[in-house]
Amino acid sequence: MKLATLQTLIIAGILSVLYSANAAADGGIEIGLLTCNVVPGSRVNLLIRSTADVECVFENNGITEEYHGETGIALGLDLSIRSNEKMAFTVIAIASDIGPGAKALGGKYVGGQVSAAAGLGLGAKALIGGGAKNIGLQPLALETSTGIGIAGGLGFLYIEAK
């Protein structure tokens, strides 16, 4: 099978799932940007697990929603000391309620995560999950920080509305 045919089939499959989920629910699709900042002093590294509190803002067509929660590595390796951590997620979510102020992105998201720092740090996450009001895909998150070290493993982001 040619690559172009495979890509077309994958795109058609994704669109049909999105359409059927949208038709089944009275909600719709949320697409936007979720930016999160790690709360200074909240990071805890336990070598194979790390956690940090986050404050997040979701922006979609001029509407802003605020969230707070926790992020980190559930199982992996975290040999880093970081500060000034920021993450930006692209968001594609099917939600039962997407009206202004619905705050439907609250939920638990898991997936792969990797980062490295030597002065300035960069990282990436790919997460999927959701909550009671949605199922969401954060196809790629880019992370910036300052510090030193490496980290990688099964990452998570748990957020709830403020």
- Please answer whether residues 84 and 106 qualify as being in contact, where contact means their C-beta atoms are separated by less than 8 angstroms: no
Task: Name the residue with tokens 């949208």.
Answer: 22
Tell me how far CA of residue 149 lies from CA of 36, 47, 49, 55, 70, in angstroms.
21, 12, 14, 23, 21
The per-residue pLDDT for 78 is 93
Residue 115 pairs with which residues in a beta bridge?
A: 123, 151
Tens-place pLDDT, residues 85-121: 999 998 887 777 666 667 778 889 999 999 999 999 9
Global confidence as pTM: 0.78
State which amino acid sits at residue 122: L
CB neighbourhood size of 116 (10 A): 16
Residues 67-89 have a mean pLDDT of 94
